[in-house]
Chain A
Amino acid sequence: MGLQPYAYTIANGTDSIVVMKDDGTGQTVVANQAGYFYSVQLSLDGKKGVVSAEDENGYLQIFVANMANLQNGNPLQLTTDATDHYVPQLSPDDNTVVFVKYDSAGIGRAYTVPAGGGTQTMISTPDTIDVWTPSYTPDGKKIVYEDDNLDCINMMNLDGTGMTTLTNAGGTEYFDEFPSVSPDGTKLVFSRYGKATPTTSEDVYIANIDGSNVTQLTNSGTAGEAWHPMFVNNKIVFVYYSFATSDNDIYNMNFDGSAAKDLTNNSQDEYFQY
């Protein structure tokens, strides 16, 4: 099963999109070797999905799909301008997509676009901030993101005001990336590795939403790396890269880091974002 091609404007490619429950059951291919996908994400209620995929001209464009009606219609293409559009994330009310484009100076800027189609709007942020992986808090009132200059996790209002740094202030100690806020809005999960010893593995950490009480949840050691965690319902899902097999799999675990489980135990590469 699956859609092929996923949409006529997506260039032919060999990546598939798969949907499953957070316990790994019910894996369903919804786009079968249908393009080159850069990232995929479901909305908080799961009714919509958004992808960044390469178009026929080689640019990453954003597409949004109604997950209840995948077999009966192509996804809606939200962007068409000749540049790359990265890491789209849906707002909790399914009405808006936030994503990243780079300006002429190479600075990452967050943009929003209506999920039903419309005009892109840039969120104004200082030139010193290189925005990456923005995502909404579950109440839809804030956006958390990685500052790719200092490699810290920040939070801001929807219009870019009120920026606060949540983790790795000053950026001297760590590379912090891939922030995700818990459904109740009280916790932040992200992945981190050290700047002083850049060969150390990446692991998943959890903190209070204000950045306090940072706690390591995974301990990959020399065997692999745990990265790109996300809260999904009552689990944290993340990607684990094994040095032994050079393979990424999707895992889940409890909020306290216990009971980590490989949900896609095969030889294929699986991830949320390339």
Chain B
Amino acid sequence: MRKALLLTFLLFLAAAWVGCGESTHTVTPTSQVAFIRAASGGALAYNHQSRELRGLRALPARKAHRAWGCNLMLTPLPMEPTPLS
């Protein structure tokens, strides 16, 4: 009986140790998501064709957009902008 109790206790300890090891690596994924909302009236008309026209380095295009005050779809850049630096 004592041996059985000791064996049960040791099995319990082993299971607890394994469980603790696993729990330290678990990250509970959030159900929250963050996004950008552009100001009303400033629609950027952004789809893959405009991305290809502007290239993915879109900041210079965006600066031009702000400076010109016009819609990017009407004024796509003819070539990919060069990096700023």
Interface residues of A (CB under 8 A from B): 14-23, 29-30, 33, 36-47, 49, 54, 58-60, 67, 82-84, 86, 92-93, 102, 104, 106, 132, 138-139, 148, 175, 183, 193, 198-199, 201-202, 224-225, 227, 230-234, 237, 241, 243, 246-248, 250, 264, 267-274
19 contacts between A and B (CB under 8 A): A14-B39, A14-B42, A17-B36, A18-B34, A21-B32, A36-B62, A39-B36, A44-B27, A59-B84, A83-B84, A84-B84, A138-B27, A139-B25, A183-B29, A232-B32, A232-B33, A268-B40, A270-B37, A274-B58
- B2: CB under 8 A from chain A? no
Closest to B28 in A: A45
Q: In the docked arrangement, what's the CA distance between A54 and B62, Å?
A: 11
Q: Check B49–A40 contact: CB distance below 8 A.
A: no
Q: In the docked arrangement, what's the CA distance between A39 and B25, Å?
A: 28
Size category of the binding interface on chain B: 35 or more
> Which residues does chain A contribute within 8 Å of B44, judged by CB atoms?
248, 269, 274
Q: In the docked arrangement, what's the CA distance between A37 and B46, Å?
A: 15
Contact residue among B35, B66, B73, B84 (Cβ-Cβ distance under 8 Å from A270)? B35
Q: In the docked arrangement, what's the CA distance between A148 and B58, Å?
A: 14
> Which residues does chain B contribute within 8 Å of A272, judged by CB atoms?
34-36
**Total contacts A to B, CB within 8 angstroms?**
161
Contact residue among A42, A93, A198 (Cβ-Cβ distance under 8 Å from B27)? A93
> Which residues does chain B contribute within 8 Å of A198, judged by CB atoms?
49, 52
> Which residues does chain A contribute within 8 Å of B83, judged by CB atoms?
83-84, 102, 106
Closest to A133 in B: B56
Q: Check A16–B37 contact: CB distance below 8 A.
A: yes
